[in-house]
Structure 1
Amino acid sequence: METQMGTVEDNEGNTYQTVTIGAQTWLAENLRATKFQDGSAVNTGFIPKDDDANLLTFGRLYDWHDVIDERNICPKGWRVATDNDWKLLERAIGISELEVNKEGWRGKNDIAITLKAAQPDTIFKKFNQADVNKFHFFATPAGVKLGNWYITQDMYTEFWTGSSATEKDAYARTLAYSWWNSHKGQIRRAKLQKSNMFSVRCVKI
């Protein structure tokens, strides 16, 4: 499957690479917005470890309430990817219909590495480097912010979806990067606390 690259600019002047995968066009970078489309400020949007050097690589981390705010945190003509948007992406890259609706770690044949900007070999496993970032999605291990704490940078990335699961939890997607983690080739679908701060990807409307 061929992918097509492009760019989009938000109302703050941030320019993002975009990629078309299957029938969808996605940001190929994590969101960096500090304002909604109407110019009002988001409440979260923290740079990992409060280090400006991390901004372009990892983007910003947002809680779920900013993610689903009706003022829209994405560039004009875009929206935060929903749980169903992620399922469409996962089907397009090769996750089976039997697995796509399940929770937990899903996907065979190291499918997750096709979305990662990098996936080094480890002492336990070698990866087909030709498949790394095959779809030009450029996922990076930004880690998360829980309260005042930044954790798991270079080990995990968590992407919010715009889909609520329960009063306190929403659906998210996880990619693992640590050398010791056996799920590096899979994508996790999980319900996680809305107060957590994760990365965000937008899809074109």
Structure 2
Amino acid sequence: MNKIIIFLASVIAGLTLNACDDDNNLPDIVPSEHGAVTDNEGNTYNWVRIGDLLWTTSNANNGPLMDNYRYYDNTEWKNAFSKNEKAWLQEEYHPVYGNLMTWDDAMESAPEGWRVPTDEDWQKLERQLGMENTADRGWRGENGVGRKMQEKDTGCRLALMLGGFITVVPSGYAWIEMELDFTDEYGAFWTSTLTDSNPDHKTAYYRKVHCSNGGVDREAGRCDKLMSVRWCRNAQ
């Protein structure tokens, strides 16, 4: 009986160690090159090379400011943010998390020679970081790929920021809500790849990471949402 108990305890301990060690089984990707790029508004961003792609390491901070977005509440147009909220965005949010944009604005944001990553660009990055089921929808790579994407200790990592996102909730043909949600919990990032998941609205793939979930969410969302933007380009 004692031998059986000892055997079971060793099995459980082994499983626990393996579960806790998932992050250690991922490839240790050290960017092979790094540099900087400047956007059309004079903002400078660092970039790193991972595989055959260069990726910016901070969120885009150009384009139409999210501060100025308005919504229609069935009676009149209203500002999404109050004067105090706009001051907080300018002083605290934008310097850390950048700007949130609709898909159309995101497509116009990239500096010359750069692009909003395609869905395949993101999948290539995910495979490079150790994910296998990159073409699946929903949360994938729960072994820690999402945490890998958030690493910033060396200054040469992707350092995905958790800037939340803005969802516009429609009522009939009018907007009735526009709020910034889940700052410091989720980061949501556009791809440039459109989908046909909603016949009534233009939709595109995006990626989402969470502060404690080790995975990366691959889903499609309406293009009028406001999300963070990163850029990439092919390495020369």
Corresponding residue for 1:154? 184
Q: Which 5+ residue runs of structure 1 have no aligned equivalent?
A: 35-43, 119-131, 179-183
Q: Is the 8 Å Cα contact of residues 142 and 216 (structure 2) preserved in structure 1?
A: no
Structure 1 position 176 matched with structure 2 position 210:
yes
Residues 111 and 134 of structure 1, relative CA distance in 2, 3 Å threshold: farther
Give the paired residue count.
Answer: 173
- In structure 2, the partner of 1:110 is 144
The residue aligned with 1:197 is: 226
1:159 and 1:198 in contact (8 A); partners too: yes
Give ranges in structure 2 of 5+ residues lacking alignment.
1-28, 68-80, 169-177
1:109 is displaced (CA, Å) by: 2.2
RMSD: 2.1
Task: Return closer, same or farther for 1:154/1:108 CA change in 2, 3 Å cut-off.
Answer: closer
How far apart, in 2, do the equivalents of 1:20 and 1:6 lie?
A: 9
Distance 1:133 1:109 in 2: 21
Mapping 1:34-183, distance limit 5 Å: 34=63, 44-46=64-66, 50=86, 51-52=89-90, 53-68=92-107, 72-96=108-132, 99-117=133-151, 136-147=157-168, 148-166=178-196, 167-177=201-211
C-alpha distance in structure 2 between counterparts of 1:14 and 1:134, whole Å: 18
Partner of 2:51: 22
1:82-103 deviation line (CA, Å, top 9, x unaligned)? 111101111111111xx11000
The answer to whether the Cα contact below 8 Å between 1:144 and 1:157 also exists between their aligned partners in 2 is: yes
Contact kept? 2:138, 2:219, Cα under 8 Å: yes
Q: Distance in 2 between matches of 1:62 and 1:117?
A: 24
Q: Compute the displacement of 1:11 (Å).
A: 2.1
Between structure 1 and structure 2, the one with the greater Rg is 2
Displaced runs of 4+ in structure 1, greater than 4 A?
Answer: 132-135
CA distance in 2, matches of 1:46, 1:91: 32
The alpha carbon displacement at 1:21 in A equals 0.7
User: Which residue identity does 2:122 align to in structure 1?
Assistant: W
Partner AA of 1:86 in structure 2: W
Report if the CA contact (8 A) 1:107-1:185 is conserved: yes
Instruction: Give how far 1:135 is off.
Output: 6.5
* 8 Å contact from structure 1 (residues 21, 135) kept in 2: no
| Alignment partners' CA distance in 2, 1:80 and 1:169 | 15
Give deviations 1:27-81, integer Å, cap 9, x for gaps: 11101112xxxxxxxxx4426963112112101000112123xxx3111110111
TM-score, structure 1 normalization: 0.77
From the two aligned structures, give the one with the greater helix fraction.
Answer: 2
**Pairwise CA distance, 1:169:** 1.7
For residue 54 of structure 2, give the secondary structure of its aligned residue in structure 1.
strand
**Distance in 2 (alpha carbons) for counterparts of 1:64 and 1:114:** 25
Structure 2 Cα separation of the partners of residues 56 and 106 of structure 1:
30
SS in 2 for 1:171: strand
For the 8 Å contact 1:142–1:153, the answer to whether it is kept is yes
How far 1:193 moved relative to its partner? 1.3
Deviation at 1:117, TM superposition (A): 4.2
Q: Provide the identity percentage.
A: 30
SS, match of residue 87 in structure 1 = helix
Distance in 2 between residues matched to 1:107 and 1:45, nearest whole Å? 33
Q: 1:84 to 1:133 in 2, by over 3 A?
A: farther
Normalising to structure 2: TM-score of the pair? Answer: 0.68
